[in-house]
């Protein structure tokens, strides 16, 4: 079995077919020539994500694409282990109260309606809806003044836009960090009813800024990707699209299971020797776990999407155990009386058939992957 990362896809929305033929745990050669591990199956992925013997600390975890380690920034607890991870997560989870979510729900509905009403076919769904919706909701959560929304959205989009240069993305990231740092200082002087104001009494300005940046990355690109890819998946499966009205909440959970939330690998390092999938992962050697399809067993589970009848499915899209990030046990805000969730499909029904779109997208994905790996 090759040690290289499989990158050849028949369609960029499915993992490379070679992953179906790999062992659950197989060797993977990193960009610097060293060897790590790749985990592709559901059960083993959940083990790596939940077992405390695997660390996510930035100073010891190595990526197959960028092998150098990097210490976690203050507040960026997604790249920390307990007890630091637990302390930050507890503080942030406390901000996502039932009261705040209920207060935010009508604002989310209003933003959704405004964006849908502004769409006329033909429409670029990603730019007209998928990107601005999560960006504007995060503005509401963090307490970004309305007059700064345009700046915030522009820099947020540039930070995750793969079509622009690295220099532009880095400059946008620096500008956004500086803006959020000043916003945190302003909230400390004049608190309001928002997440940043709720954190300033327990953390310093750099820590709160780091959490704000983490929320942006965790909630912006992931939500934007799911809105775009979820619509695409439903258009590919018109039988499931017809059932959307029957169980919108179930459809959301199924799309999270079926699609990748982000396109990046999730890395872990073994703190001690661990037997996994018939292999022994040696401690502290940059062993890594990659989830090309969260929640999908690439060999044993059919590549099917069913928007109903999936209750209780154990996913890996939100993390597990002590690494469950900041998702709080609060009600999911509804998007209107569910009909708005279906309205967004109206302006995009004239899209070409997916097969006609896959070839140029596949070439773009493969070219960018080879650039990253130096291949």
Per-residue pLDDT tens, the chain, 375 aa: give them: 557 777 777 776 677 777 777 888 888 888 778 788 888 888 898 898 889 999 888 888 877 776 667 778 888 888 889 999 999 999 998 998 888 889 899 999 999 999 999 998 888 998 899 989 998 999 999 999 888 988 888 888 888 777 888 889 889 989 999 999 999 999 999 999 999 999 999 999 999 999 998 888 788 888 988 999 899 888 888 888 888 888 888 888 888 888 877 666 788 888 999 999 889 988 864 444 443 222 223 333 445 666 665 554 555 555 544 444 444 444 454 444 344 544 445 444 333 344 444 444 344 434 433 443 344
Biggest CA-to-CA distance, the chain: 60
The domain in which residue 115 lies consists of: 72-261+298-362
Nearest one of 250, 252, 248 to 337, comparing CA atoms: 248
Q: Kindly state whether residue 6 falls inside one of the protein's structural domains.
A: no
pLDDT recorded at residue 117: 93
Distances (CA, A) of 371 to 50, 82, 315: 32, 35, 31
Cβ neighbors of 337 (< 8 A, separation 6 or more) are none
pLDDT recorded at residue 337: 39
CB neighbour class for 4 (10 Å; exposed up to 12, middle 13-18, buried from 19): exposed
Q: Kindly state whether residue 62 falls inside one of the protein's structural domains.
A: no
Q: Kindly state whether residue 304 falls inside one of the protein's structural domains.
A: yes
Q: Kindly state whether residue 41 falls inside one of the protein's structural domains.
A: no
Q: Kindly state whether residue 308 falls inside one of the protein's structural domains.
A: yes
Q: Kindly state whether residue 9 falls inside one of the protein's structural domains.
A: no
Distances (CA, A) of 362 to 13, 24, 33, 356: 9, 25, 26, 11
pLDDT recorded at residue 41: 84
Q: How many domains does the chain have?
A: 1
Q: Nearest-5° angle of CA 315, CA 291, CA 238?
A: 60
Distances (CA, A) of 143 to 5, 108, 136, 255, 346: 41, 14, 10, 30, 32
Mode of pairing for the β-strands spanning 35-39 and 25-29: antiparallel
**CATH code, domain carrying 356:** 1.10.630.10
Angle between helices 222-236 and 132-142 (to 10 degrees): 150
pLDDT recorded at residue 310: 55
Q: Kindly state whether residue 52 falls inside one of the protein's structural domains.
A: no
Q: Kindly state whether residue 357 falls inside one of the protein's structural domains.
A: yes
Cβ neighbors of 56 (< 8 A, separation 6 or more) are 78, 79, 80, 81, 85, 267, 268, 269, 323
3-state helix, strand, coil in the chain (%, to 5): 50, 5, 45
pLDDT recorded at residue 20: 75
pTM score over 0.85 = no
Supply 257's token pair. 């299971």
Tally the residues of the chain: 375
């Amino acid at each position: 079995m090759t040690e290289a990362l499989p990158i050849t896809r028949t369609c960029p929305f499915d993992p490379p077919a070679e992953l179906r033929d790999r062992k659950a745990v197989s060797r993977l050669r990193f960009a610097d020539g060293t060897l790590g591990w790749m985990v592709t199956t559901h059960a083993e992925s959940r083990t790596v994500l939940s077992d405390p013997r695997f660390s996510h600390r930035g100073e010891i975890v190595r990526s197959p694409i960028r092998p150098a380690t990097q210490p976690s920034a203050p507040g960026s607890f997604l790249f920390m282990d307990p007890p630091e991870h637990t302390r930050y997560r507890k503080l942030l989870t406390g901000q996502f109260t039932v009261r705040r979510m209920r207060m935010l729900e009508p604002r989310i509905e209003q933003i959704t309606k405004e964006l849908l009403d502004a769409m006329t076919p033909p429409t670029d769904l990603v730019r007209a809806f998928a990107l601005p919706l999560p960006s504007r909701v995060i503005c509401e959560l963090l307490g970004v003044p309305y007059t700064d929304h345009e700046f915030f959205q522009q820099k947020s989009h540039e930070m995750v836009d793969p079509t622009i240069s690295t220099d532009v993305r880095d400059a946008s990231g620096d500008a956004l960090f500086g803006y959020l740092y000043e916003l945190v200082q302003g909230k400390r002087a004049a608190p309001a009813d928002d997440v940043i104001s709720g954190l300033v009494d327990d953390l310093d300005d750099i820590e709160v800024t780091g959490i704000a940046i983490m929320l942006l990355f965790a909630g912006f690109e992931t939500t934007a990707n799911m809105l775009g890819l979820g619509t695409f998946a439903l258009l590919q499966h018109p039988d499931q699209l017809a059932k959307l009205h029957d169980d919108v909440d179930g459809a959301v959970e199924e799309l999270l299971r079926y699609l990748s939330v982000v396109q990046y690998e999730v890395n872990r390092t073994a703190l001690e020797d661990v037997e996994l999938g018939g292999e022994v992962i040696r401690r502290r050697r940059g062993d890594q776990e990659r989830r090309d399809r969260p929640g999908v067993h690439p060999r044993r589970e059919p590549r099917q999407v069913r928007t109903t009848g999936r209750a209780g499915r154990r996913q890996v899209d939100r993390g597990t155990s002590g690494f469950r990030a900041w998702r709080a046990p609060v009600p999911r805000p509804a998007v209107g009386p569910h009909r708005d969730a279906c309205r967004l499909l109206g302006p995009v029904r004239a899209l070409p058939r997916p097969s006609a779109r896959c070839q140029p997208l596949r070439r773009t994905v493969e070219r960018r992957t080879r650039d990253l790996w130096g291949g």
